[in-house]
Amino acid sequence: MLRVVDLFCGAGGLSFAVQQIGYDLVGALEIDKNSCITFENNIKNCKLVNADILELTPEEFLAKIGANPGDIDLVVGGPPCQGFSSLRTTTKTENDPRNELIIEYFNYIDFIKPRAFLVENVPGMLWERNKKYLEKFYQLAEENGYTLYEPCKLDAKYFGVPQTRKRVFILGVLDGTPTGAFQWPLDPTHDAPDSIEVKTGMRTPWINASSVFKKRLKKSDPNNVHFNHTQELIEVFKSTPLNGGSRTESNRVLPCHKNHNGHKDVYGRIDPSKPGPTMTTACTNPSKGRFVHPTEHHGITVRHAARFQTFPDEYVFHGGIQSASRQIGNAVPVELAKVIIKHIGIKLLQSEIAFKTESRKVAA
């Protein structure tokens, strides 16, 4: 069984996927207290360490989870990405201290010495202004015995997730690990309904946002909560066309919107006939994007947001609506994570079998 560690685990998107596949989630590391509460209430049989990676050495981390260097097959993780985010466009982001966390991530890799590691981050990671961090990361990896594949940008809607969500994934494999004809990036499992791939049965059609709203929410679900809106805002929602209307159609033009052509999605309704918008850390706040319910006059609930990220309804997020929204927005969609990790895991397991077979031949 593959042994996995999750760094910057957050509320557990990658970790939950690991356990859903059937791999052994040995340990996880996360600084945010509410995320840890969510993690511990949903993910069992894993040693979670609530600490700052900058204040905890890799040696201390392995001791806490009861592992040694070389014990772990795969390390996954998404270092905080706010410094790389497209929503932060000033030059100050170039020196955002959070950008350095990707370097600390590799310091852990270097000590843990897994056979492979996976990094997830926002597309802004590849921008020219962030080039120095990525180049340093690649240099460290290659100098310490890892072969890194080219960063690949994947859109979650091509992998069974009902939202458009582009993220960058970097795969590193320890030198000497037999990977055969390892394919990276991996092929999509879903595609546009009118694509040749779907028409010929090679892929499944995208999953639309309607899937999120099809099943009624349980009143007893603690995540069946949405923002409380003023009556004025509720009237705006009422005047916004159903199933995809935007702020330009809501009869509400704020002074900040005059002579400004951007932010067209704020206060917009989600269109159920296509994959939903990217779930951000403010995914339940209609003032931050197209997060209004398709037909009801309020923002989407925490549960709706979790469904967009393909978490099951039994997965409960703790800490209140803003914290829960942030946890959901930071997570890797479970279904996307399952496809990627299983793809990597199969190759690692095949290489392990090949290594043991070759060893027996040599011994004989």
Q: Which residues are annotated as catalytic? A: 81
Neighbours of 194 (CB within 10 A): 8
What distance lies between CA 229 and its chain's CA centroid? Answer: 29
Residue-wise over 273-307: b if at least 16 C-beta within 10 A, else e? ebbbbbbbbbbbbbebbbbbbbeebbbbbbbbbbb
Neighbours of 320 (CB within 10 A): 12
> Do residues 275 and 298 lie in contact, with contact meaning Cβ atoms separated by under 8 Å?
no
Q: What backbone torsions phi and psi does residue 146 show, to the nearest 5 degrees?
A: -120, 140
Virtual CA dihedral for 67, 69, 75, 81, nearest 10 degrees? 100
> Do residues 49 and 66 lie in contact, with contact meaning Cβ atoms separated by under 8 Å?
no
